């Protein structure tokens, strides 16, 4: 079998794609780069917003046409597969294999079936499964928990991924050891709410460390760089900030989604914290990590959001001064309380507010990034940038960074780089030679290619 996998959504979906891909390889499948080469195409779906759902619908339509021209098995997995919306889509487009987020280990059973296979049960064995490390990569994701015990009114995750289940620390450290043996230098701990690790259903699990102590354990493993995502402010503790400061391997990057700066909107979202409590977490982080790089998520145009509420979000952005933000127009998702009980705002109102927030974000990102010009940063180079002769990577603070292949960086690895120029979404620098020697000036990168290299920060 020749299999091709398409992934939409979050880093958890990327991890799940790797898990299923490793299962397919163990079954004898070859992983190919394109649909045209494949006889099995599997789409890993996202249901958090409407845009990725529309993309899946479009791809499934194209695959149904291909099935009339040649033998082709089509599969669908991930959050959308767990919902009635996705199941109706699967029937309409004649999907052969449907796997929910809790049934990924059923992929072999699904492919052995001679009829349509729907695997949608949450199974305990998934939580103890350890996939092989990614081959030839310096970065890896490591899931420490699945599901979520919070019930934000806009979020479909508790429905698609179920309640929170923390992985055992032994399994986490065993998977980490395998990743390190394979050459991984940076690991990102994943969970819907990593701060709540070890407290499932409101109860502390015997023998499980707190998330802060897990950071300390992982940081002592020999890994060079540790990151984590994502954090819920309700469960963030000062001890997490302290653990980051005490553990050199843990990067000084914190992604702490606020969603709104208005207490009234936060209550409608059921976020379980106030603006003041959120800002106290920011103060804790900066007390322990004065140079922390801060990122957030913001939903613009949540039902009932007034102009005054939106001004509260803008003022909070200025009070924190985020380095970067993922900004989203509110997307009503069937099955969520906000979809059922709240009236959506007009699209033009949401779009106009998003544009104002983007301007704010660019101003702060430009200011924050400019402060790094002249500094020496540790940059993990992943590989080629979109412009020939250049390589791209990121700093410990997650800043996308571009360097020239011709002046000291000849491939993936960790390099010391002096930052010479910065835009709101990208840094440009020169690799330092032995003893910190300055290497030649960085050639100019095509601005269009630079824009293509920048991470998507709005939707």
Q: Residue ranges for the binding site for [4Fe-4S] cluster?
A: 10, 46, 79, 148, 152, 155
What is the DSSP code (8-state) at residue 389? T
Q: CA-to-CA distance for 459 and 305, rounded, in angstroms?
A: 18
Q: What angle do CA 48, 52, 56 make, to 5 degrees?
A: 125
Q: CA-to-CA distance for 278 and 261, rounded, in angstroms?
A: 9
CA atoms within 13 A on the CB side of 364: 21
Contact assessment for residue 241 and residue 229, using Cβ atoms and an 8 Å cutoff: no
Q: CA-to-CA distance for 397 and 378, rounded, in angstroms?
A: 9
**Rg of the chain, C-alpha, whole Å:** 22
Distance (Å) of CA 1 to CA 62, 72, 238, 381? 21, 10, 50, 33
φ, ψ of residue 79 to 5 degrees: the values are -60, -40
The binding site consists of 10, 46, 79, 148, 152, 155
Q: CA-to-CA distance for 205 and 182, rounded, in angstroms?
A: 31
Contact assessment for residue 403 and residue 429, using Cβ atoms and an 8 Å cutoff: yes
Distance (Å) of CA 17 to CA 31, 79, 179, 262, 307? 12, 12, 16, 36, 41
Cα–chain center distance at 357: 21
Sign of torsion over alpha carbons 314, 316, 319, 321: negative
Q: How many CB atoms lie within 10 A of CB 157?
A: 21
**Per the omega criterion (within 30 degrees of 0), is the bond before 230 cis?**
yes
Q: CA-to-CA distance for 23 and 128, rounded, in angstroms?
A: 15
Both structure tokens of 256: 């702490």
Distance (Å) of CA 386 to CA 78, 393, 446, 458? 29, 12, 9, 20
Q: CA-to-CA distance for 383 and 32, rounded, in angstroms?
A: 20
380-392 b/e with 16+ CB inside 10 Å = b?
A: bbbeebebeebbb
């Amino acid at each position: 079998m020749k299999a091709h996998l398409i992934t939409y959504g979050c880093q958890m979906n990327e991890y799940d794609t790797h898990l299923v891909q490793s299962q397919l390889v163990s079954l004898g499948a070859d992983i190919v780069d394109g649909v045209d080469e494949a006889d099995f195409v599997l789409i890993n779906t996202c249901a958090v917003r409407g845009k990725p759902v529309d993309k899946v619908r479009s791809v499934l339509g194209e695959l149904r046409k291909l099935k009339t021209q040649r033998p082709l098995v089509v599969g669908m997995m991930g959050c959308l597969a767990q919902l009635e919306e996705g199941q109706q889509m699967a029937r309409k487009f004649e999907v052969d294999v449907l796997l929910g987020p809790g049934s990924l280990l059923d992929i072999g059973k699904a492919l052995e079936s001679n009829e349509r296979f729907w695997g949608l049960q949450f199974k305990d064995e998934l939580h103890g499964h350890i996939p092989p490390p990614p081959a030839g990569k310096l970065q890896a994701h490591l899931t420490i928990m699945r599901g979520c015990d919070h019930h934000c009114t806009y979020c479909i995750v508790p429905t698609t991924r179920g309640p929170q289940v923390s992985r055992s620390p032994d399994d986490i450290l065993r998977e980490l050891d395998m990743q390190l043996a394979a050459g991984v230098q940076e690991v990102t701990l994943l969970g819907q709410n990593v701060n709540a690790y070890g407290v499932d259903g409101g109860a502390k699990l015997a023998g499980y460390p707190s998330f802060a102590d897990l950071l300390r354990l992982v940081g002592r493993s020999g890994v060079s760089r540790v990151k984590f995502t994502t954090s819920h402010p309700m469960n963030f503790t000062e001890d997490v900030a302290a653990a980051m400061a005490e553990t050199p391997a843990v990067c000084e990057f914190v992604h702490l989604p606020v969603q709104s700066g208005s207490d009234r909107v936060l209550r409608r979202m059921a976020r379980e914290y106030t603006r003041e409590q959120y800002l106290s977490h920011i103060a804790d982080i900066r007390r322990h990590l004065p140079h922390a790089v801060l990122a957030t998520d913001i939903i613009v145009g949540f039902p009932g959001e007034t102009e005054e509420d939106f001004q509260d979000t803008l003022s909070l952005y200025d009070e924190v001064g985020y380095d970067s933000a993922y900004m989203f127009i509110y997307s009503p998702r069937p099955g969520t309380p906000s979809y059922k009980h709240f009236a959506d705002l007009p699209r033009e109102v949401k779009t106009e507010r998003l544009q104002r927030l983007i301007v704010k974000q660019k101003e702060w990102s430009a200011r924050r990034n400019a402060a790094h010009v002249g500094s020496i940063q540790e940059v993990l180079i992943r590989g080629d940038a979109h412009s020939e002769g250049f390589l791209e990577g990121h700093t410990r603070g997650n800043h996308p960074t571009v360097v020239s292949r011709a002046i000291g960086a000849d491939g993936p690895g960790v390099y010391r780089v002096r930052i010479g120029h910065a835009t709101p979404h990208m840094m440009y620098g020169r690799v330092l030679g032995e003893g910190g020697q300055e290497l030649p000036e960085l050639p100019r990168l095509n601005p269009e290619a630079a824009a293509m290299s920048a991470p998507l920060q709005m939707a």
